[in-house]
Structure 1
């Protein structure tokens, strides 16, 4: 009895999950995305408090400082998350035009939501200096973009690979310091 996982199982699992996600409305996907962005934003605000590197303020001023800082960080995170989602969606859709896409922008945004979510969720690994974390997140982004283009836009393997790699190269260019490419 073989104990290994077949190649068909590895690639059919994510594809099946993306097909299930394709049936959901974009609103649900955006709620999922912005929940992750909000959680990570608050986590980044709480990180200095948890590590003991917080500013030395006593009493009631400390509570107001934490509350204001959390609110500001949350708003910045949501704004930056919105800009990142729109920018990466536009880049992905630009490359989809090369492969003759006739789908609406909504499908591209759905693909980008699920490709960017792990990047945002595990961005702490890059900030903490985990070796090759940026590169692994970039590869993960490309794989999820591949499955998103393949399922949401119903493109062939080679066209999905082109869009995923081209979008990944653009993302790596703009995030080259975080990814670890000098």
Structure 2
């Protein structure tokens, strides 16, 4: 029996991962993104319950409060996730215009989906005040944006760096309190 790992399952780096993601349709990417947003929304509702900061409501009222709060947080999360995705995609595409983009907005949205997904999923770490969590998430966003622009838009590395840094700076400006800058 061979102990070698098949080359199909071997992790070969971010470039190969983004090349495989480029083969997927935008619909699949959006389903993935909104699943992440839905999980994060429910997690944000459960966060006060898990940290012991839940309101002092007893009995059946507590059950209704949790159910209504979860539904409201879920809907708000989906709306905020859609607005965030559109806003970040527009900012990224704006900076892509400086480097003469010839790709469609669909590729920009794919790039934003994979840059924002970990940011949204792990944003609870910022709320729990984990040291340097905001900066790490911002760095991850910048790196994901770089690979997204490089692979999805087929731009040179220096142009991808420009777009990733510019988009990350705009995001950092709007989230500077949460990031800790």
TM surpasses 0.5: yes
Q: Which residue of 2 aligns with 1:87?
A: 87
Find out whether 1:41 has 2:28 as its counterpart: no
Kindly provide the CA deviation profile for residues 103-143 of structure 1, in whole angstroms up to 9, marking residues without a partner as x: 10000000000000111011011111111111111111000
Q: Structure 2 length normalisation: TM-score?
A: 0.92
In the alignment, the residues of structure 1 paired with residue 51 and residue 163 of structure 2 have an alpha-carbon distance, to the nearest angstrom, of: 40
Q: Which residue of 2 aligns with 1:32?
A: 32
In the alignment, the residues of structure 1 paired with residue 54 and residue 127 of structure 2 have an alpha-carbon distance, to the nearest angstrom, of: 17
Q: Structure 1 length normalisation: TM-score?
A: 0.91
In the alignment, the residues of structure 1 paired with residue 49 and residue 178 of structure 2 have an alpha-carbon distance, to the nearest angstrom, of: 24
Q: Which residue of 1 aligns with 2:7?
A: none
Offset, 1:51: 2.2
Offset, 1:169: 0.6
| Gaps in structure 2 of 5+ consecutive residues | 1-11
| Gaps in structure 1 of 5+ consecutive residues | 1-11
Q: Which residue of 1 aligns with 2:146?
A: 146
- Secondary structure of the corresponding residue to residue 58 of structure 2: coil
- Secondary structure of the corresponding residue to residue 103 of structure 1: coil
Count of matched residue pairs: 170
Q: Detail structure 1 runs of 4+ shifted over 3 Å in the superposition.
A: none
Find out whether 1:120 has 2:120 as its counterpart: yes
In the alignment, the residues of structure 2 paired with residue 67 and residue 146 of structure 1 have an alpha-carbon distance, to the nearest angstrom, of: 40
Kindly provide the CA deviation profile for residues 51-100 of structure 1, in whole angstroms up to 9, marking residues without a partner as x: 22211212211111110000000011111111110000000000000000
State the superposition RMSD in angstroms.
0.8
